[in-house]
Structure 1
């Protein structure tokens, strides 16, 4: 049974819902600050300090926690629970294959309250109304060489929107600290709203000579517009990959699921932590999240999905399409491990059990058995998830031998026609905005200070 969730009137908008939640959170923050400042919540070690601070509980993050054994929880709720109570697209409410919306997840992460269907319908419309790009940004993106990495283009575009930052302008004019959050909120909503158009523009310029691939639809949700602007909907001549109506509907739901699940993963990951760190200097949301995107572009963070697809394609070729032969699969994996290579898509910095996000993405394909019946890459991913953990356990050098979300997500996009592997991370960049920006608003609500830990040298650690 789902735990009770606070819910306000269906006529209350997101900002008012947030305002209603602020007093209690500020009171709790002040209580902790005044009464529990000396409470110990962990132990620092030399190994932790030189090992990337892994496991240090030193960052306030409100919306999600990654439990080593249970995986991600959003305000205490599992993925499966969120799938049950978070609203879907208004025209797919009763469709069992329809996924909940990223904007539903943003509302929930930001406020801790379950949004109503009416509230999300209105919020989706607000995002669509604010989705258009200013002329100066279109000119900037059109001026960039198509050879420039798409993640670099994404970071440039987000930074450039600083030109319109309400927070930056208000701060320059001199506003009370208690009002910082309102301008941060407005900037964050504007940024999230414009990401589908930014992503679509980058995809068009980089891979399709600037050809118009889709249209913004003011009556559709955020993920639908993102899919449309990538040419993935069945809109007559704009249908880039010639998807039929059912496939188009499925790929929109894939984008919804992917973006909702990738939106937040507690605060310690590079993109989230970087956004928080830069924001702690009172940089506006555009500059803060642009920095987070640059962290996401690193091969140890956001580029994992593309590496998995490369690996699966190569493995399928080496197996000569004999994807159900467990003996051949095991031999192939041992060959990798014995040559000091890793199995892409396996292992996790925190998790010690299978990643529930992987299971949710895998189930997306399994629910569409007819669509994926002849997709050898998808079925190889499934078979690999049943065989690789045993091999890695025998190998004995991996703390978590189970598949993470990257094992499945890239192959699903590949199936529907996004075969430009570098671009997977750009879609990730759109989705990851949801969590760090919701936390950035809370950073300003609570008046968190600039982040400035003390450093230490090796000589001191060695004493």
Structure 2
């Protein structure tokens, strides 16, 4: 199963690197139909392994941070102790995917129309970028689409299992069950049992990673159709990943397809410290296969402090509207300010505002706002969200207990979905889960390719901390 790339292809790849410093030359203009995803990665692995070994040998004892007592007992916030290839989150600048900001990704990644910048990027093109650090050609993105479609069929026992689950079981619980049930097809687990050499783990992990991403849409759509509709899932594999997913959900609107491409792309990755990405990485470090590793990530995503936050935002906005409409008052800056202070004085948070790392408006919020201005400028809920955006930062600054008074990604995503009639907000986190697999599992590939070890931090007792600080 060892993947080989010709010397000619390797040479061309070396001569046409993708730069993360602003140069956005697509790779391989002369090899547009030659390099597959597997070949591209096979060419990169030896060099990255070499650089990792050199880094450990030459600089392994260098100090890159320190840990305070606050960080130890406060969730390890800001502790620099995790390697993450695929993205970096800057407190002031926001997310970069392999060095590219969201607007830069929108400008250079292939789209459904085939023209970069004409519509939202294909999820497949961002998946390629996160795995390889290279901007794919449209042909390469299309080849990945075809590969994912070919892997999408679920094991025969999975749909009957999903059909048997109670409809009032939370969709995220069902999602985790469905993915874990697919683990029977893990190539990595079988290869490990068969004694495959450690230096080949990444090849088998990649097979599983592609299969997990491919199977998630039908699992997610089956849950959606079972819980909210007639249980029937239809497909159109002539479309890209996002377009076909929309058909499976029951939506046939090109504008909604574009929203789903944007939604899936911007939720893929947010560096490695977030709970779902970290859980995937942690479980994967035990050499659990990608199916089980990402099932762990989904369980983390299901928490109200993580992926459930977007539904909390929509609930808050709906409560705001209902309150003032029942009182015969308009929803405007004055009434929003009143409702916000009522929320804060009740010792509650304003959902959708603040972030553990960011100290500015989340670029993922901004690109969704731009989508709304283009596609739905007169939508009633969007106008409410836009007014909240105008007044909330000053309210939170005056309140004084929020490190970041600006909106995050969750502040906007639910309103966009609601506009298209996707009103089942308990399900929104499942959409997040379909997307986040791409980032967490792209890193999991490099975890195995670089031979990263079992993650096992040292814990300390409160008594130990006291003994240290009192010395």
TM-score by length of 2: 0.91
Does residue 357 of the first structure (1) align with residue 360 of the second (2)? no
**Is contact 1:104–1:120 with CA below 8 Å preserved after alignment?**
yes
Counterpart for residue 165 of structure 1? 186
Q: Secondary structure at the match of 1:65?
A: strand
Report how many residues are paired.
Answer: 442
TM alignment of 1:43-442, pairs within 5 A: 43-89=66-112, 92-94=113-115, 98-210=119-231, 212-213=232-233, 215-233=234-252, 248-320=253-325, 325-368=332-375, 371-373=376-378, 375-442=379-446
Q: Note the C-alpha offset of 1:319.
A: 3.1
Q: Secondary structure at the match of 1:66?
A: strand
What is the CA deviation profile of residues 173-210 of structure 1, one whole-angstrom value per residue up to 9, with x for unaligned ones?
11111110000000010110111111110111122242
**Is contact 1:323–1:380 with CA below 8 Å preserved after alignment?**
no
Q: Secondary structure at the match of 2:356?
A: coil
What is the CA deviation profile of residues 140-191 of structure 1, one whole-angstrom value per residue up to 9, with x for unaligned ones?
1112111211111111111111101000011111111111000000001011
Distance 2:115 2:179 in 1: 36
**Is contact 1:129–1:218 with CA below 8 Å preserved after alignment?**
no
Distance 1:341 1:136 in 2: 44
Q: Secondary structure at the match of 1:60?
A: coil
Counterpart for residue 10 of structure 1? 32
What is the CA deviation profile of residues 314-365 of structure 1, one whole-angstrom value per residue up to 9, with x for unaligned ones?
1122232866632222222122212222111000000001100000011111
Q: Secondary structure at the match of 2:404?
A: coil
Task: Single out whichever of 414-423 and 51-60 deviates more from structure 2.
Answer: 414-423
Q: Note the C-alpha offset of 1:85.
A: 0.5
Q: Secondary structure at the match of 1:319?
A: helix
What is the CA deviation profile of residues 401-459 of structure 1, one whole-angstrom value per residue up to 9, with x for unaligned ones?
00001000011111112211110000100000001100000000011111111110011
**Unpaired stretches in structure 2, ≥5 consecutive residues:** 1-20
What is the CA deviation profile of residues 117-138 of structure 1, one whole-angstrom value per residue up to 9, with x for unaligned ones?
1111111122122222221111
Q: Note the C-alpha offset of 1:225.
A: 1.2
Q: Note the C-alpha offset of 1:3.
A: 1.9
Aligned mate of 2:55, from 11, 32, 57: 32
Q: Secondary structure at the match of 1:367?
A: helix
Q: Secondary structure at the match of 1:38?
A: coil
Assess, with a 3 A threshold, how the Cα gap between structure 1 residues 322 and 376 changes in structure 2: closer, same or farther.
farther
Distance 1:298 1:266 in 2: 18
Q: Secondary structure at the match of 1:263?
A: coil
**Unpaired stretches in structure 1, ≥5 consecutive residues:** 234-247
**Is contact 2:97–2:130 with CA below 8 Å preserved after alignment?**
yes
What is the CA deviation profile of residues 244-297 of structure 1, one whole-angstrom value per residue up to 9, with x for unaligned ones?
xxxx11111111101100000000000000000000000000000000000000
Distance 1:323 1:15 in 2: 57
Q: Note the C-alpha offset of 1:14.
A: 0.7
Distance 1:141 1:35 in 2: 51
Distance 1:75 1:63 in 2: 5
Distance 1:75 1:5 in 2: 14
Q: Secondary structure at the match of 2:110?
A: coil
Task: Single out whichever of 4-13 and 435-444 deviates more from structure 2.
Answer: 4-13
Distance 1:207 1:330 in 2: 35
Assess, with a 3 A threshold, how the Cα gap between structure 1 residues 322 and 125 changes in structure 2: closer, same or farther.
farther
> Deviating runs (4+, > 6 A) in structure 1?
none
**Is contact 1:125–1:220 with CA below 8 Å preserved after alignment?**
no
Q: Give the alignment's Cα RMSD to 1 decimal.
A: 1.5
Q: Note the C-alpha offset of 1:6.
A: 6.3
TM-score by length of 1: 0.93
**Is contact 2:145–2:241 with CA below 8 Å preserved after alignment?**
yes
Assess, with a 3 A threshold, how the Cα gap between structure 1 residues 441 and 63 changes in structure 2: closer, same or farther.
same
